[in-house]
């Protein structure tokens, strides 16, 4: 979808604006652009809106919409009314719900040219862009499509088209592109999106002069001493890849922000094999890697003045004659030994080596790892919030604030030392499993042993994809991550 930004027109001009769909919000407050426009529409249509209001058919709450065709006095072929009466000025979540409902209604029609009069502040315009781009996303690469998709254009009307508003919309478009990339990677079947495929996707970023990409294979990974990573990979015929993307948009010598992603392109569970039901969804176990690449894509598009390094440990977790076994003891890059109690707790094994690597090589200012790590996080938070763990309060606050801005929410979880007791091993430095209780917390505690300095871990097992009838990658938490980087790059 093409996004355009235009200074708001007069009510009379909007009534005569030629488009397929005019979208107008119905807010609670009197006055304002939407309210005066609604009055003009009502007058031009001989009291249509008043009749709908008296019959209680006008949408009121966020998520409610009404699509009208051929409204008298309105040049647009369709008029879409969107409920905003329960949406407060700073209520990003409810506004996002309304914007998504409006975008879905548009996509359910044949409208191609859209005039958008739903919130004209820069923050609401950003959420509108994200909602429109999300609804317009299609994954049609792997099936025969009978007709070409509609090429839609949305014109967003704003009270002011100053530089800051233009920049905010540009940021939203770039973030949406990063989300789409992550969704494409997640939705790709595991026989397509292999570790090598992820490496090639990263190399595409190297076309930008400020971006360098290295992809290391099995032998090079072995020479580095990444024993935990290779232990997970050895059951699969697919070669593992350590993918390093170094974006240098900031000052030379400035410590980078490090993003570390879990890239298990298919997770069978290994010897501790998963149940067959819904195992196809384990192609999404590279959601952390996809999020790193999506966030870096936004960085590149916006040319952010910041240094960011992305490190992805990519492999499959498969059973086989050479596969890792329960009870094995392996040595990580850090030198710590790990007793493997369950081979399906593999994400933390590849991440611990990736975390050690990024700190040894890049000495980052802070580190954020992203992983579809535990089913326990899904039980705790469902698919609404991503689980957020951090050893620094300021970092946690910044990440949560970034998520709120773009409607990509996270919830901070505990990281108390008391949980570390569950990871004791009788024969190694640490066990890779802490038992059934607090499973997402003990997984984060495991990772905390392999980091120094500011660090955050995001467990996105419940948010990176949706199952069931609407199965597909969501691209979360690219929006949160990219907004965090935008905020970090902003001048103080």
348 is catalytic: yes
Catalytic residue among 53, 61, 203, 274: 274
Q: Give dist(CA 442, CA 212) in Å, integer.
A: 35
Q: Alpha-carbon dihedral of residues 292, 452, 385, 435, nearest 10 degrees?
A: 110
- Find out whether 458 and 368 touch, Cβ atoms under 8 Å: yes
466 is catalytic: no
| Reduced 3-state DSSP string for the chain | CEEEEEECCCHHHHHCCCCCEEEEEEECCCCHHHHHHHHHHHHHCCCHHHHHHHCCCCCCCCCCEEEEECCCCCCCCEEEEEEECCCCCCCHHHHHHHHHHHHHHHHCCCCCEEEEECCCCHHHHHHHHHHHHHHHCCCCCCCCCCCCCCCCEEEEEECCCCHHHHHHHHHHHHHHHHHHHHHHHHHCCCCCCCHHHHHHHHHHHHHCCCEEEEEECHHHHHHHCCHHHHHHHCCCCCCCEEEEEEEECCCCCCCCEEEEEEEEEEECCCCCCCCCCCHHHHHHHHHHHHHHHHHHHHHHHHCCCCEEEEEEEEEEECCCCCCCCCCCEEECCCCCEEECCCCCCCHHHHHHHHHHHHHHHHCCCEEEEEECCCHHHHHHHCCCCEEEEECCHHHHHHHHHHHHHHCCCEEECCCCHHHHHHHCCCCCCEECCCCCCCHHHHHHHHHHCCCCCCEEEEECCCCCEECHHHCEECCCCHHHHHHHHHHHHCCC
Task: Please state, as a whole number, how many other Cβ atoms lie within 10 Å of the Cβ of residue 120.
Answer: 21
- Find out whether 338 and 332 touch, Cβ atoms under 8 Å: yes
Catalytic residue among 97, 168, 262, 348: 348
Q: Which structure tokens are listed for 129? A: 């862009």
Would you please indicate which residues are annotated as catalytic (active-site) residues?
A: 274, 348
């Amino acid at each position: 979808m093409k996004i355009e930004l235009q200074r708001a027109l007069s009510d009379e001009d909007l009534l005569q604006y030629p488009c397929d769909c005019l979208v107008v919000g119905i807010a609670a407050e009197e006055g304002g652009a939407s309210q005066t426009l609604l009055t003009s529409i009502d007058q031009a249509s001989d009291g249509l809106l008043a009749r709908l209001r008296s019959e209680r058919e006008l949408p009121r709450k966020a998520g409610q919409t009404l699509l009208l065709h051929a409204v008298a006095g309105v040049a647009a072929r369709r008029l879409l009314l969107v409920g905003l009466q329960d949406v407060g000025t700073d209520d990003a979540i409810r506004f996002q719900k309304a914007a998504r409902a409006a975008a879905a209604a548009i996509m359910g029609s044949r409208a191609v040219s859209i005039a958008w009069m739903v919130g004209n502040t820069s923050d609401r315009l950003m959420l509108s862009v994200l909602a429109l781009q999300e609804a317009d996303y299609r994954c049609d690469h792997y099936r025969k499509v009978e007709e070409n998709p509609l090429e839609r254009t949305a014109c967003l009307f704003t009270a002011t088209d100053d530089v800051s508003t233009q920049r905010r919309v540009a940021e939203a478009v770039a973030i949406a592109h990063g989300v789409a990339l992550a969704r494409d990677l997640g939705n790709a079947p595991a026989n397509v999106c292999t570790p090598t495929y992820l490496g090639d996707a990263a190399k595409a970023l190297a076309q930008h002069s400020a971006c360098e990409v290295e992809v290391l294979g099995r032998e090079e990974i072995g020479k580095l001493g990444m024993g935990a990573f290779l232990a997970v990979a050895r059951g699969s015929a697919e070669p593992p890849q350590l993918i390093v993307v170094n974006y240098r948009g900031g000052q030379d010598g400035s410590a980078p922000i490090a993003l570390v992603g879990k890239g298990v392109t298919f997770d069978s569970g290994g010897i501790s094999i998963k149940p067959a039901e819904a195992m196809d969804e384990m192609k999404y176990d590279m959601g952390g890697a996809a999020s790193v690449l999506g966030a870096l894509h936004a960085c590149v598009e916006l040319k952010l003045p910041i240094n960011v390094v992305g490190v992805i440990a990519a492999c499959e977790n498969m059973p086989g004659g050479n596969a890792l076994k329960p009870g094995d003891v392996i040595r990580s890059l850090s030198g710590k030994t790990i007793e493997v109690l369950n081979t399906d707790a593999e994400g933390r094994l590849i991440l611990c080596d990736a975390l050690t690597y990024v700190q040894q090589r890049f000495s980052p200012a802070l580190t954020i790892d992203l992983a579809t790590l535990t089913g326990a996080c899904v039980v705790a938070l469902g698919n609404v919030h991503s689980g957020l763990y951090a050893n620094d309060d300021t970092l946690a606050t910044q990440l949560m604030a970034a998520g709120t801005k773009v409607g990509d929410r996270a919830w901070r979880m505990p990281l108390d030392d008391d949980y570390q007791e569950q990871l004791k091993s009788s024969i190694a430095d640490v066990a890779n499993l802490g038992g059934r209780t607090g499973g997402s917390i003990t997984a984060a505690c495991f990772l905390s042993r392999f980091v120094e300095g500011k660090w955050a871990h995001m467990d996105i097992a419940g948010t990176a994809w949706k199952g069931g009838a609407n199965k597909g990658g969501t691209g979360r938490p690219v929006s949160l991550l990219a907004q965090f980087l935008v905020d970090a790059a902003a001048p103080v």
